[in-house]
Amino acid sequence: AASDVYKRQGLDYEDTYSPTTTTALIFYMLHICSVYKMYKSTFDVSSAFLEGDADAVLYARLPGVITKDGKPLRVKINGNWYGEKQAGRVWNKKFDDIMKLMKFQRCPMMPCLYKWKNGDDIMFVIVHVDDGLLIATNESLFEGFMNEFLIHITKATHSMNFDQYLKMEICDTNDHRIQVSQYEYLISHFRQANKVVHTPMSTSVNLRVQVANPNNDSLLPDTGRFRYLADRTRPDILVATSEISIGGAAAPSDEHIRAKERLIDYLSATSQVSLILGGTDDIQLFGYSDAAYITDGNAKSRLGGCLFLGLYSGAFYSYSRSDTIKSSISHSSTEAEIKAIDELAREVEYWLEILKFTGVEVKLPVKIFVDNKSAIELCRVLKTTHQVKHINVRIHYINDLIVRGILELLFVPGEYNVADILTKGLPRESHERHGEVLLHGHDGKLWYEMLACAVSMVSVER
């Protein structure tokens, strides 16, 4: 029987997880590394799953050619081994114990993030199974960390001059920002473009009403590769990826096949595109929320949102998803917009806790830009009627954040709502304008004046 209290046979013995970090957290830490002019490095633990002590007594039978007195041998395993299902969990428990011995504090919201502070010296550790990212105020802290860390494990390598982390290429730019891309992955997994296209999907095709074709192979392998890019450094393809996935798992339509080919052409034509993080301006948390009200085919509205940490940095967090299965189909565009605001509001609360843990102060309320005045008004004045009673919980939640001064909803014209690129296919001009802001930030006087104008306009209306 398992000895670890977290491994009770018959109840949770099959738990095999090892906490993994999120891409958004990596982008967040790279952003503050750039803004606060901190230093970064990586470490990799060799044979990490052999480091911990097994949470159960383990035995192994040796190959039949190894016998004693003609009988097969069974031996007891010292330590842990890769064959154990719980190896990842065992390693993470040991790593956490080591971090505690080294006086690191674990983040309650994200178990992969640790913080150490001594006066003005600060170090953050992000661990993804056995791959670590170090952020520190002083380069000398890295050597001290590794020297103490190596006391507790067998072997680990440390790199100050790294250009990849979790298969994402990372490099510093000439303007003191950080560029993150997946160029190598993209060119190794997708063919060269058959033709140059400027948007990832057509605005005139609705994949949700297409007729399945049993002669077409599943698009799951392709959508998996698309998703690997979209969820990391290419949020500009989130909508196309998601729409291809709906109906593309089995017997995709001919239109799904054409949409896939178009997306590959787009990726090939934009293979050099990257996400830019950091900057010289103070950290400020703000975002955009939007929704596409869908009534045809799979009538789940598409909800989109993104969060920024500064005007001159790309979005560190972006999402585009169909309304959750458990939720009812939206009855109006305003209802869909409220659901989108609710999704982003929960992310705001989460990231405010992360900011607090890392010691970053931001000015409240957090501004969320929305292009639906009705949704803003319903949430702001808590106007509940029989028409919206089924989403009262969402409205009350958003209103509570507004009343407490955590959130502020501001109207912005649709053509300036960056989250529009996360809800639907757009014409080239709109796609390129929103994509530039989503990936590179609000560079240029025009965008800065637009935001100031949007805020001013709402203030006047109120």
Q: How many angstroms separate the first and last alpha carbons of the chain?
A: 65
Distance between CA atoms of residues 122 and 429, nearest Å: 44
Nearest residue to 190 via CA among 275, 273, 274, 271: 271
pLDDT in tens, 278-291: 988 889 999 999 99
With cut-offs at 50, 70 and 90, classify the pLDDT of residue 331.
Answer: low
- What does the pLDDT look like over 122-139, one tens digit per residue? 999 999 989 999 999 999
Mean per-residue pLDDT, 417-445? 91
Cβ count within 10 A of residue 100: 12
pLDDT at 328 over 70: no
- Prior bond of 214 cis (ω within 30°): no
**DSSP bridge pairs for 275:** 180
Residue 135: which of 243, 245, 27 has the closest Cα?
Answer: 27
How does residue 448 score in pLDDT terms, banded at 50, 70 and 90?
Answer: low
pLDDT in the model for residue 2: 34
Q: What is the pTM of this model?
A: 0.89
Return d(Cα 276, Cα 311) in angstroms, integer. Answer: 11
Average predicted confidence (pLDDT) for the chain: 87
Q: Which residue has the higher pLDDT, 16 or 372?
A: 372
**pLDDT of residue 186 exceeding 90:** yes
SS (H, E, C) the chain: CCCCCCCCCCCCCCCCCCCCCCHHHHHHHHHHHHHCCCEEEEEEECCHHHCCCCCCCCEEECCCCCEECCEECEEECCCCCCCCCCHHHHHHHHHHHHHHHCCCEECCCCCCEEEEEECCEEEEEEEECCEEEEEECCCHHHHHHHHHHHHHCCCEEEECCCCEECCEEEEECCCCEEEEECHHHHHHHCCCCCCCCCCCCCCCCCHHHCCCCCCCCCCHHHHHHHHHHHCCCCHHHHHHHHHHHCCCCCCCCHHHHHHHHHHHHHHHHCCCCCEEEECCCCCCCEEEEEEECCCCCCCCCEEEEEEECCCCCCCCEEEEEECCCCCCCCCCHHHHHHHHHHHHHHHHHHHHHHHHHCCCCCCCCEEEEECCHHHHHHHHCCCCCCCCHHHHHHHHHHHHHHHCCCEEEEECCHHHCHHHHHCCCCCHHHHHHHHHHHHHCCCCHHHHHHHHHHHHHHHHHC
Over range 218-234, report the average pLDDT. 95
- The arithmetic mean of pLDDT across residues 301-327, rounded, is 87
